[in-house]
Structure 1
């Protein structure tokens, strides 16, 4: 039986799949197949109208897609109890699959099964959290070739990274896209904790003039590379250093560091909010990220933001507050959007 597929570059595969699903032409009954070293074949019911692809081809006797990891592991002889300990979720970032394996039995076998499900990937990593002042990831290779460098494409933004050296949170996908929608062309933005460009890149691609500050030299190297990769070097000014020492004037400030308002102890003020308010013009927008235990929602982040604005003699209006994702057991990643006069 001959079925239709479109050929796309491997780094663009996940974005293409998202677009094909949105258009209603992605055929999830078939597997994604490798076309050559640089391309994959994505199964479709008809040629897409809005998703870019290099060419359409007919597949002869295509392989059916395994429904999910659980079914695939069952076929490979895993017991019910063993499958209960397999990863329940994972993220495909370019050519790398990132998952929490925990106490999974035979993680190498589970990793091989994930590679069978996602032919566009060639490496599986076990995510073990982050460590140190620069929040460096702790990962280990579970299966595949072990290449931790990749380019992940998300809503058209290309993120080059080494997942063994820099942090990337798949759960922040919607927030990254939202920041690109929030800004206006020519708006001046200060991103105080830019990382590899999580928020800075979508905002610069939307036409904002972004100053992106990062003190981790490895993350900064990828930030500068990503500015070139996304053709925004003209609108994205990258600075290696401590954001508290950067002089800027901004219409919008992004504080994407969980402890920017201070640690668990009340009054533990690292001075980031004061620096943000120094840079933010009157009437400007402030986006504050925090990791907060559920019993302290929303008192802790709101209280600290308001207290910091009061110390700076600035009026603050909270426009929105939302949970981005679960950070850990009983702790949530949240964001406050505020206008500061």
Structure 2
């Protein structure tokens, strides 16, 4: 590394905090930290600081929490810090052009995909949802588009076969800081690579409605949904007036043809339900008001809930 850089860091959740910690541990100087304003959280809805703010307070960094960076006052305040570069990781606020061009070296973003694939809000979840074999992180020079700036550095990884969005999030939270430090240590020598927009895909936000099981989908897609939507919004289906969340499921071979949504078998291995192409074995389920349980425990406790040959209630309804 040729020079120690004065850095403004902007981020909010734990994923961002891991990148801030890497910067604090480096030879660079974090001169200011931006994070979203404290938000209500928990049952009491008390105002709670973000993970980034908590870490910044512990490190003694100056903290800024504007509602927006679009005002002249906020932009002048940021410019007065006179940073060399601004690092943005899961900040959650739009950076206007004036901010993007304020630091001497501009603004870098760490994005949880191999751009231009999965631009947007939910790249980690969408990679699993789509059945991708690989993912990674991209360190990008920010411009005014949505994750459209030139890429300075990428690090890739194989997506583990049973990865959930929670576990993959943790993996990328380790990979991302490594990529970030490597990028800023070599910032003067990296050649930006312009993204090919023709290869772009967009990682749309998840919704509870999307997470509702559509038994018309293939078993493979349903199993990917279970992993991609864990821990939020969680795949769920309605059966006997209960909204049941699925924490784990796997594809199993279908030896006989049943109408989709039919309960094929109920055993200690789980609840096997007919879907397209193959069957889906539900192995961990959550009943409203209770913790997630192995399907075998639910079968023992509620033997009448799942009966072989019955149709899952929500399979009657078009989705």
The normalised TM-score by structure 1 is 0.29
The normalised TM-score by structure 2 is 0.30
Greater fraction of residues in strand:
1
User: If you compute each CA radius of gyration, which structure gives the higher value, 1 or 2?
Assistant: 2
Q: Which has the higher contact order (CA 8 A, sep 6+)?
A: 2
